[in-house]
Amino acid sequence: MKLSKRLQFIMEQIPDGSTLADIGSDHAMLPVAAIQSGKVLRAVAGEVNSGPRDAAAKQVATSGLKDKISVRLGDGLDVVAPGEVDVITIAGMGGALISSILEQGLNKLQGVKQLILQPNVGEDIVRRWLLDNHFVLTSEHIMEEDRKVYEILTAVPENTNGTMLTNDEVYREYEVDSGNGTVKVTKDILIRMGPWLLKENNDIFTAKWMSELDKLTRVLKSLGTSSLSSAEAKSEVFAQEIQQIREVLSCLPKDRL
């Protein structure tokens, strides 16, 4: 099965021989491709609405994989039992929704060795959830497809991964030279922008954050014309965030700005 560049990359992160749950499976394209490639032994395709569930079931049947892919109707991780799968993928949702699905299904994460998550927005919300729930972010990837930017986050339970990587290491604060002194990359900035993406700082990452700066600046300008009592406090928060992001971006190679 031909996958989009985004789904292809997600599939490549799945360890060989895994059992997979794809939540919000959307025609079960990822589970079908993962089974066909031999990467995944068996899979669950979960959908919360009957229409997408029926479309996924049709795709699985057409592919001749009904004995290897179970298509289920249910809310989030309700579609799996504890210990049933060892890899979970959730892609194409907001970060708040992905975090909510993980939180509500926390008891279903027993035995899960890897989470592969692709939030459309709110990546920092997902990073915060992973950190608070002792999952270590082992890699991040940013890509552009059809003029949309996607971030793919891969995480494993802390203290169980082969590299013994810890959250303290991933989110350790550090200083970088801006040319006019040093800039501190704080834990909050690492969560906001992505610890691995910051280290890679490729062109897509830089362009994304230049665009985010434009959006934040427009919000700050709008707050400046507001008569609400809360506007001043909000303005201070936005101004501080803009300053922090600008300082970090100023430390990236100048030919990328």
Strand ranges (E), 48-178? 69-73, 87-93, 114-119, 135-145, 148-157, 174-177
- The C-alpha angle with vertex 59 and arms to 58 and 64, in degrees rounded to 5, equals 95
What are 102-151's pLDDT values in tens digits?
Answer: 999 999 998 999 999 999 999 999 999 999 999 999 999 999 999 999 99
Residues 31-61 have pLDDT tens digits of 999 999 999 999 999 999 999 999 999 999 9
Range of the domain at 131: 5-165
Q: Are 140 and 152 in contact (CB under 8 A)?
A: yes
Please enumerate in sequence order all residues whose Cβ is within 8 A of that of 77, keeping only pairs 6 or more positions apart, or say none.
Answer: 21, 23, 46, 88, 101, 102, 104, 105, 108, 109
Do 60 and 35 belong to one domain?
Answer: yes
Kind plus residue range of the DSSP H or E element containing 155: strand 148-157
Question: What angle in degrees, to the nearest 10, is found between the helix axes of 5-12 and 29-36?
Answer: 50
Domains: count for the chain:
2
Of 109, 131, 165, the domain-final residue: 165
Q: What is the pLDDT of residue 104?
A: 97
Instruction: Verify that 100 and 202 share a domain, yes or no.
Output: no
Residue 40 is part of a domain; what is its CATH number?
3.40.50.150
Q: What's CA 113's distance to the chain center, in Å? A: 16
Task: Give the CATH number for residue 205.
Answer: 1.10.287.1890
